[in-house]
Structure 1
Amino acid sequence: MKTLITSALPYANGPLHLGHLAGAYLPADIFARYQRLMGKELLWVCGSDEHGAAITLRAKKEGINPRDIIDKYHELNKRSFEDLGISFDYYHRTSEALHHETSQAFFLKLLEQGDQFEVKTTEQYYDAEADQFLADRYIKGTCPNCGSDQAFGDQCENCGKDLSPTELINPVSTISGAKPELRETKHWFFRLDRHEEWLKEWIKTGEVNGVKLHDPKDWKKHVVGQCMSWLDGGLHPRSITRDLDWGIPVPVEGADGKVFYVWFDAPIGYISATRQWALENGGDWEEWWKGDDSRLVHFIGKDNIVFHCIVFPAMLKAHGDYNLPENVPANQFLNFEGDKFSKSRGWGIELHEYLETFKDFENGKDAIRWALIRNMPEQQDADFTWDGFTEYYDKDLADKLGNFFNRVTVLTHKYFGGAVPEINGSEALTQVQAKVTEFVTAIGANIEAYRFKDAAVAFVELASFGNTFLQDAAPWSLYKANPDDPAIAETMYASIQIAAALALTSTPFIPFAAEKLRSALNQAPAANGDWSAALTSISGGQPLLATGHVLGQAGVIFPKIEDRKDDSRKQIIEGERAKMAAVLAAKAAAAPESTTPSAGEAAEREAFKPEMTFDDFLKVDIRTATILTAEKVKKSSKLLHLTVDLGAEQRSVVSGIAKHFAPEDVVGKQVCCVVNLAPRKMAGVLSEAMILMAEDGEGKLAFVSPPAGLGNGWTVR
């Protein structure tokens, strides 16, 4: 079967940061590399998303052409991907003529059907000073949900709530600063509501019209939860056009000055990228998108779930001849040292900056790949730290993997002139072979199931197994007692097979170091089909490296960061920590001085409750949890029905937060729950725990959340 994979098109309005990498690109690279090693037919397409209001807004502010912006960031991001080994088969861009043609043809095919669009005249904000209608991102105001004055017309940057421009309080134009006025304008709306029923069935059961297309158990819980929250809230027609001078023109009469809204044309970019690849490589693009023997997998971040699980599938189904995605393994968000990545605050590190700063850091590319894999935000938000970066590198790669390779090659050269020794075979060797087969199979199975952290753990366990086996066998002691002891040959033979398995299975994770590992074993770089062939060999009792094969020399492949003999690499990391400290110091200096509240201000707080004993407090069991699903409780305007993951189990929770949060806004939130309250029914729905919330004097609620990356089910004391 063919596998077509896509990664979210990065917006060509700025550089990529490590959070982007951990979300949609590194997991896809691991998956793609593994599929190739298994000898599977695979095509991985991506490209730059080069339309949208943010690009035109920036161009206006800087007095340049949008083309200048997209050219700069397309080249920067494309080069950064290549430098880090992200192995796209084709990296396209949505400003290309082929993409314009593909998007317009897709629209016209839907239009021909007569029931997929409706044209409506609506009121939209207009900037009289700039003499133009304002796209959502051209309008700023106060969020009606959280009160932040930094909300845009499509989303609040503070609380993350989706908005429409008319919901903003005191809106202003970001172009002129003037207060906009409402004027009538005509737009085309995609009838998303017509697709609600089959989308529900498809998400819940994996079936469409009785045909099984995917197994919903294989989809991540937060993906299904977010989809069902949207679907349960009801789908509505969605505008696909905008009044802008940058974008793909709408190819129908009466649409002068209108372009496709970026959410409509961007996913079609996957199709145009496939078409361009086919033109340049003599392939048939339709086999990948429409063939019975082809599957489609989207790699994205959680902010794109709705577009890839609801909107784009509806577009594909409406077109009538495209495959629907088999899976959308969306990752959650990666934070940086306890806070969100922020270019404006200088918080975090961008990919091109990392590559430049760490260019002389040996194994620097693999070091960042490995740190992100080991802390990948697959099921919940995670937190990147420089301490974690150092620990994962030193403990996993240096202490376990590199140390094992060095010992194996050194001892093989010492005892057998570097050649794989001849053996007679034994029960112990058979057991080692079985164990290696088990590990290699587990690594691959986890990658196939999109559990990349688990795959990395299994890889480290294989390295640990090799070290333990070699240490327990102690061939140096055997050699000292009897240089002709056949157990020495058996030990080194088995250790060499473990090393060969590690060199192969490292390839999806740390491809640059993998070549060093294979070179240490005197092997060529891994090629398509090698993993599949290796599994066949080891499961059949055959060696990965045959008797007589001469090894190379490993040396120190992964010099430790904390090695005091060479602190140049530590200095690079200390430099990054110094940048963080400077950002925090600047933030503290800019913050207003805190003052002790007056008696009047203090009196506004809710009065403290009566004293209780410490033993009373110990009775309360508070645990960390993640909200998996959320939906409104029927016949109640105050209640949401939530499902929370407590690590060891899931529970139903009814929470009175519906007036403060929409269901789709809370899915994926990590929270604190009281879990030992007696269950009770609220509005007919069983509640088995209570979500902790903070409330200010105006009655606004905020989640009490644990630090990012803590995990579910841990006790809060």
Structure 2
Amino acid sequence: MMNQPKRYLITAALPYANGLKHIGHLAGAYLPADIYVRYLRAQKRDVVFVCGSDEHGTAIPIQAMKEGITAQGIIDKYHPVIQQNFEDMGISFDIYHRTSAPIHHETAQEFFKALHDAGELETKETEQYYDEEAQTFLADRYIKGTCPVCANPGAYGDQCEKCGTSLSPDELINPVSTLSGKQPVKKKTTHWYLPLNRHEEFLREWILKEHKDDWRANVLGQCKSWIDGGLQPRAVTRDLDWGIKVPVEGAEGKVLYVWFDAPIGYISATKQWALDQGKDWTPYWNDKETKLVHFIGKDNIVFHCIIFPVMLKLHGNILPANVPANEFMNLEGDKMSTSRNWKLEMQDYINDFIRPENGGSQMADVLRYYLTTIAPESKDSEFTWKGFQDANNSELVSIFGNFVNRTFVLMHKLSGGKVPPYHNAIADDADKKLGADIAAAKTNIERLLEEYKFRDALFEVIDLARKGNKYMQDKEPWIVAKGLAENPEKQQLIDNCLHLCLQLTANLAIFINPFLPFTAHKMLGMMKVVEKMLGWENAGSLKLLSVGYTLRAPELLFRKIEDAEITAQVDKLKAGLAAATEQAKQNETNNKVETTNTPAPEAPVKPEIQYDDFAKLDLKVGTIVTAEKVEKADKLLKLQVNLGFETRTIVSGIALHYKPEEITGKQVVVVTNLAPRKMRGIESQGMILMAEDNNGKLHFVNPEENINPGAGVS
């Protein structure tokens, strides 16, 4: 390839070691990264593929409290399971590290101190919630209270899991500490900040100009939105007892914020790999001839495209050449959710399918195949069990596997189990076209993989197998064989057909290897060739299998997936949702009877008030003039509401129920004398009255007929 980098460093987002990971995680970052790395290895490139468990942050001790064990116990429990899951799915990391390792603590502390000593960080005193009984500052997830949007009494300080609204602890009504159950107090604390606002010009030039043609549109769009919105200093420390200690004076009781220490885990993992291999790690992070590529999901774009690059630039490291972030993958028509048990964990798939009696490692390839064909490269996609079955039965079994199996069966039947010779003198246009198709496939697959278009690249592989099936069907060697007694010279026609089909089979093994590595190695066994043949330099050749070479008997590459298996999986999914729903109801009931200092439970009828209390509310009819999504808040809409006497900005948590274009022009009832409240940095100057039905759907409370904006409601 032209301008080929001297070396590659490929990273996949560090998964939290607070629980098992589902197939959405696999499809989002780890599978595409593995495909790319396997291709680079086949190209004989110098490549290192690093990942590891993210073991700090509040998610770890919170899970520890749920399970009644220590934070260390949680990461020691989940780290090896996640690592084994990746191995079972064929994800070929050069190292799967962990951020609890001493080398990572040292690396992260050195990184922080270098920025601190160079004056690249700022300190700021703020007021944060503090639990006097527990004697600790409270992270957002350690605070619960009533949601200001939906009145859910169990909302967390960062998000209400009932309505989905992103929150801050200051927005909660009646906040309490989850550690003691007591109401927290505000207390001053000092933290260190990364002043992103100083680097807007650099980021605009680097991302929006230098990479405007080679980065994905979804990545550029999100970055542009953040930069155009104005970057603010970002805290890099927290008041916690779980994490990496801040290595400067005056930072007692503080740790590095997890978003700061986690990406540094890529560097510490590279260091550990280099120590294990007896190599130098520094060129992979400091030499501009290294190509750094981050594979992530869209929820990590801002960290890998804005925050971490600023950190790397200030620390003197190279910047990522690309960040091919994927969108999200839904499951059977709904968003995957651990809390609602609407998910398919890798462990569940492994338990149900990757057993010897169910197909073993070949079934890992089936999942890899389907996830790649529906990869959310440009928009959200959806996994369905029916789609999974169809991809296996109609494509892997009927196209790819069918071609390889027919080729081997006919080779044993019509060529004595050996690779037949090729007779150039009688080669026809169909023979020549198949050879040209193989060469063209190599060019196309290579280009698409270099452009991170893995879904399209896999289509090229399957399409080549489809062309092989058509070639064989048109040649009909089994029919030609019936006339050999009268015309023995027709054996040459059979030879040419099977010779080319066998050479195509060998090429298919090379092309499919980045996507389905277990299948490629099974094909190597059938052809009795070594792994060296999978080198990309061999792709496109029609001389991969020697004439007269004896090949093994055919084996089915894939098994058919039966309807009963799919039905069982769908039923299992629904049962899991039902169990989680019932548990949530039970938890809600338990919450209502708690007598500690928790927010008052929601009642069917609120306490009696006097008329004068109601009269304090100023309810007026307004007309929604404009509506738009709030950046980085999936559940919020920013509305401009005409009240007749003025137009106000109101932020409302209705984005899951209504699209902006659906409500423009709609009349609503507004509480106009509600004290303003900031939500996601926007001052909301009122509240829209809504009604919620039994299914959780929100409905507007509005007049039957249009009336003048500003009309009073009584």
TM-score, with structure 1 as normaliser: 0.79
Q: How do residues 94-243 of structure 1 correspond to structure 2 at under 5 angstroms?
A: 94-114=99-119, 116-144=120-148, 151-157=155-161, 162-206=166-210, 215-243=211-239
**Amino acid paired to 1:224:** L
35-44 vs 154-163, which moves further: 154-163
TM-fit CA distance, 1:188: 0.8
Q: Secondary structure at the match of 1:242?
A: strand
- Please point out which of 453, 478, 481 is paired with 1:479: 481
What pairs up with 1:522-601 in 2 under 5 angstroms?
522-525=528-531, 530-535=535-540, 538=541, 542-562=542-562, 571-583=564-576, 585=578
1:298 aligns with 2:294: yes
Residue 445 (structure 2) aligns with: 443
On the 8 A contact 1:347/1:580 being kept in 2, the answer is: yes
Higher mean C-alpha displacement, 123-132 vs 92-101: 123-132
- Alignment of 1:36 onto 2:31: no
Matched residue type, 1:228: K
Amino acid at match of 1:109: A
Contact 2:339-2:580 at 8 Å conserved across structures: no
For residue 322 of structure 2, the aligned residue among 307, 320, 327 is 327
Flag the 1:326–1:133 CA change in 2: closer, same or farther, 3 A.
Answer: same
Cα distance in 1 for partners of 2:394, 2:415 equals 30
Conserved 8 A contact 2:461-2:511: yes
Distance 1:512 1:79 in 2: 16
Give a deviation string over 1:445-490, Cα, whole Å, max 9, x none.
Answer: 2222111111121111111111111001111122223343122211
Q: Which residue of 2 aligns with 1:698?
A: 690
Cα distance between partner residues in 2 of 1:390 and 1:550: 35
1:153 and 1:164 in contact (8 A); partners too: yes
The residue identity in structure 2 corresponding to 1:418 is G
Counterpart mapping for 1:255-654 below 5 A:
255-319=251-315, 321-358=316-353, 359=355, 360-362=357-359, 363-425=362-424, 426-428=427-429, 429-482=431-484, 483-485=488-490, 486-525=492-531, 530-535=535-540, 538=541, 542-562=542-562, 571-583=564-576, 585=578
User: 1:318–1:558: structure 2 CA closer, same or farther, 3 Å change rule?
Assistant: same
TM-fit CA distance, 1:443: 2.0
* Aligned twin of 1:78: 83
What's the CA shift for 1:127? 1.4
8 A Cα contact 1:134 1:173, kept in partner: yes
CA contact (8 A) 1:367 1:393 kept: yes
Partner Cα separation in structure 1 for residue 202 and residue 697 of structure 2: 35
- Between the aligned residues of both structures, percent identity stands at 48
Q: Distance in 1 between matches of 2:235 and 2:445?
A: 44
Pair 1:58-2:63 in alignment: yes
Match of 1:328, SS?
coil
Moved more, 80-89 or 416-425: 416-425
The answer to whether the 8 Å contact 1:394/1:561 transfers is yes
SS at 2:213 equivalent: helix
TM-superposed deviation, 1:573: 3.6
Q: Unmatched 5+ residue regions in structure 2?
A: 586-618, 622-627, 641-646, 663-686, 700-714
Q: CA offset at residue 152 of structure 1?
A: 3.0
Pairwise CA RMSD:
3.3
Q: In structure 2, do the counterparts of structure 1 residues 143 and 24 end up closer, same or farther at CA, with 3 Å as the change threshold?
A: farther
> Residues 201, 147 of structure 1: CA spacing in aligned structure 2 closer, same or farther, 3 A cutoff?
farther
Distance in structure 1 (CA, Å) of the matches to 2:84 and 2:419: 41
Contact 2:434 2:468 in 1 (8 A): no
Matched to 1:201, the amino acid is E
> Does the residue aligned with 2:144 lie in a helix, a strand or coil?
strand
TM-score, normalised to structure 2's length? 0.79
Which digits, 9 at most, give the CA deviation of each residue in 1:596-634, with x for residues without a partner? xxxxxxxx9x9xxxxxxxxxxxxxxxxxxxx999799xx
| DSSP 3-state at the match of 1:216 | coil
Structure 2 CA distance for partners of 1:194 and 1:466, relative to 1, 3 Å: same
Tell me if the contact between 1:239 and 1:261 (Cα under 8 Å) persists in the aligned partners: yes
The 1:145/1:228 distance shift into structure 2, 3 A limit, reads: farther
Quick check: which has more Rg, 1 or 2? 2
Cα distance change on mapping 1:433 and 1:315 into 2, 3 Å: same
Question: Which residue of the partner structure matches residue 609 of structure 1?
Answer: none
What is the rounded CA distance, in whole Å, between the counterparts of 2:417 and 2:649 in structure 1?
A: 69
SS in 2 for 1:481: coil
Say if 2:256 is the partner of 1:246.
Answer: no
Would you identify which runs of 4 or more consecutive aligned residues in structure 1 move more than 6 Å?
A: 587-592, 627-632, 668-674, 699-704
SS at match of 2:301: helix
Measured in 1, the distance between the counterparts of 2:275 and 2:583 equals 55
Cα distance in 2 for residues equivalent to 1:702 and 1:189: 40
Deviation at 1:355, TM superposition (A): 0.9
The secondary structure found in structure 1 opposite 2:288 is coil
Check the 8 A contact 2:419/2:499 in 1, yes or no. Answer: yes
SS for the counterpart of 1:121 is strand
Matches of 2:317 and 2:413, distance apart in 1: 60
Partner of 2:73: 68
Aligned residues: 608
Distance 2:344 2:106 in 1: 37
Looking at structure 2, the residues matched to 551 and 631 of structure 1 have their Cα atoms a distance apart, in angstroms, of 57
Q: Separation in 1 of the partners of 2:324 and 2:155?
A: 29
Q: CA deviation at 1:67?
A: 0.7
